[in-house]
Amino acid sequence: MSIRVAKTGNEAVAEGMRQINPDVVAAYPITPQTEIVQIFSSFVANGKVDTEFVTVESEHSAMSATVGASSAGARAMTATSANGLALMWEIVYIAASMRLPIVMPVVNRALSGPINIHCDHSDTMGARDAGWVQIFSENAQEAYDNLLQAVRIAEDKNVLLPVMVTMDGFIISHAMEVMHLLEDEKVRKWVGEYVPENPLLDVDNPVTVGPLDLYDWNMEHKRQQAEAMIQAKPVILEVAKDYAKLSGREYGLFEEYMLDDAEIAIVVLGSTAGTAKEVVKALRADGVKAGLLKVRVFRPFPAREIAAALGGKKAIAVMDRSDSFNAVSGPVFAEVRSAMYGVENAPKIVDYIYGIGGRDVTMDHIKSVYDDLAKIVKTGQVERALTYLGIRE
């Protein structure tokens, strides 16, 4: 039986980390992730874990030490937000190219500047090409569930890639909700023992990690990295299946909410999906065939599956909680529209950039998006390909 509790997202993730009991955690505090570090510190201080906890002097060193620990053969974790992730940047890429199964919760926060501590996805979207598996969460329950699954995904021998598990800053990280934790023993058994390949600490079989890799082999190694990301997709689904057996909660690459017979739909990531589902319910009550697709796994991007799920719809709105500043669209739109290219009777697709710097997103805002879609279906015309939702202009 699982344990019903009231937890914030940060508490839920810290509990998950306690249950995983990693060999090493190296982390640095940053709002809104700070609580994870604090709570985990108290677990260390009170013997709830026997993790070696490295209180580094920056996020750059957090990721550097995590890379060192993971290369050494440890199950290693860190956590961060926004500017912290940006400071790690260089090593975020190195962690992926070294094929280290590091798991990192990222509490989404607007990347400076202007400085802002509230939620948007500019931090993790900026890292979308870093070679990490990226899993987004709608609420504390999902953040917890995704964290546990991330360990198994990262350490799968066909993957061996680092995994970022995200949750929306404050909206999820600091809001209390009722959720279910699994029992400690169950989690430890399910996550299992980490068996590293070629660890540095195997001094009888010395390996050189992180060598200079020039034009002779670099491209082959990057190709292998790309292959690992391709292989990650079936592994994510297998792990989700196995996790469903453990928890009763099922996950896919994305969630379809009243999407099957929908004519208009929005594509959304993170906590806004919860708000949007309420809008869909209300619209359905009014006879509007509205639906929703919530992307859970952004990397690897499930292009083919999304195309199949959205094919045949009449109009789609992609909700982007960050901007690409490419004078075209946000990043999620670019991926989704690209996925839809060549799909027969492809729907009209428009982009909404919303919720930047923590700007509140209400049901009315989302209703207005569905209204726009309905209008597109009615007129067959797209007036605006990109809308900044709720902006004062």
Partner 1 sequence: MATLKELSNKEILVTPGHRACAGCGFPIIIKQALLAADNPVVVGCATGCMEVCTTIYPYTAWKVPFIHNAFENSAATVSGVEAAYQSLKRRGKIDKKIDFIAFGGDGGTYDIGFQSLSGAMERGHDMLYICYDNQAYMNTGIQRSSATPRGANTTTSPAGSESYGKKQYRKDLTEVMVAHGIPYVAQGSPAMWNDLVSKVNKGLAVEGPAFMAVIQPCVLGWKYPADQTIELAKLAVDTCFWPLYEIVDGEYKLTYRPKEKKPLVDFLRKQDRFRHLFKPENEHIIAELQAEVDRKWDALLAKCGEQA
The answer to whether residue 226 forms part of the interface with partner 1 (CB under 8 A) is: no
Per-residue tokens: 163: 């995994």
- Considering the complex, what minimum distance in angstroms separates the CB of residue 196 from partner 1? 10
Among 113, 114, 211, 342, binds partner 1 (CB under 8 A): 211
- Between strands 3-7 and 177-181, the pairing is antiparallel
The answer to whether residue 57 forms part of the interface with partner 1 (CB under 8 A) is: yes
Residue carrying structure tokens 């057996």:
245
Among 51, 134, 146, 247, binds partner 1 (CB under 8 A): 51
Among 44, 72, 246, 282, binds partner 1 (CB under 8 A): 72
The answer to whether residue 90 forms part of the interface with partner 1 (CB under 8 A) is: yes
Among 10, 19, 61, 166, binds partner 1 (CB under 8 A): 61
CB-based contacts of 189, cutoff 8 Å, min separation 6: none
Among 5, 44, 117, 200, binds partner 1 (CB under 8 A): 200
| Rounded CA separation 81/115 (Å) | 13
- Contact by Cβ (8 Å): 82, 106: no
Nearer to partner 1, 52 or 177 (CB): 52
- Considering the complex, what minimum distance in angstroms separates the CB of residue 70 from partner 1? 8
| Rounded CA separation 337/332 (Å) | 8
> In three state form, how does the secondary structure of 61-75 look?
HHHHHHHHHHHHCCC
- Considering the complex, what minimum distance in angstroms separates the CB of residue 299 from partner 1? 22
Among 3, 45, 207, 244, binds partner 1 (CB under 8 A): 207
> How would you label 93-104 residue by residue, b for 16+ Cβ within 10 Å and e otherwise?
bbbbbbbbbbbb
- Considering the complex, what minimum distance in angstroms separates the CB of residue 205 from partner 1? 8
The answer to whether residue 85 forms part of the interface with partner 1 (CB under 8 A) is: no
Geometric angle at alpha carbon 254, from 369 and 188, rounded to 5° = 135
Nearer to partner 1, 2 or 97 (CB): 97
Q: How far is CA 27 from CA 78, 80, 155, 189, 287, in A?
A: 5, 8, 20, 25, 50
Instruction: Please return the burial class of 201, using the count of CB atoms within 10 Å of its CB with bins 0-12, 13-18 and 19+.
Output: exposed
| Rounded CA separation 375/389 (Å) | 16
Nearer to partner 1, 205 or 381 (CB): 205
Interaction residues for partner 1, span 111-170 (CB under 8 A)? none
Interaction residues for partner 1, span 282-311 (CB under 8 A)? none
Nearer to partner 1, 13 or 100 (CB): 100
- Considering the complex, what minimum distance in angstroms separates the CB of residue 57 from partner 1? 3
- Contact by Cβ (8 Å): 202, 164: no
Size of the site for partner 1 (CB under 8 A): 43
| Rounded CA separation 165/147 (Å) | 6
Among 64, 80, 83, 108, binds partner 1 (CB under 8 A): 64
- Considering the complex, what minimum distance in angstroms separates the CB of residue 268 from partner 1? 36
The answer to whether residue 18 forms part of the interface with partner 1 (CB under 8 A) is: no
Among 55, 225, 231, 275, binds partner 1 (CB under 8 A): 55
| Rounded CA separation 13/7 (Å) | 9
Distance spanning both ends of the chain, measured CA to CA? 52
Residues of the shown chain interacting with partner 1 in the complex, contacts defined by CB under 8 A? 23-24, 26, 50-52, 54-58, 60-61, 64-74, 76, 90-91, 94, 200-203, 206-214, 216-217
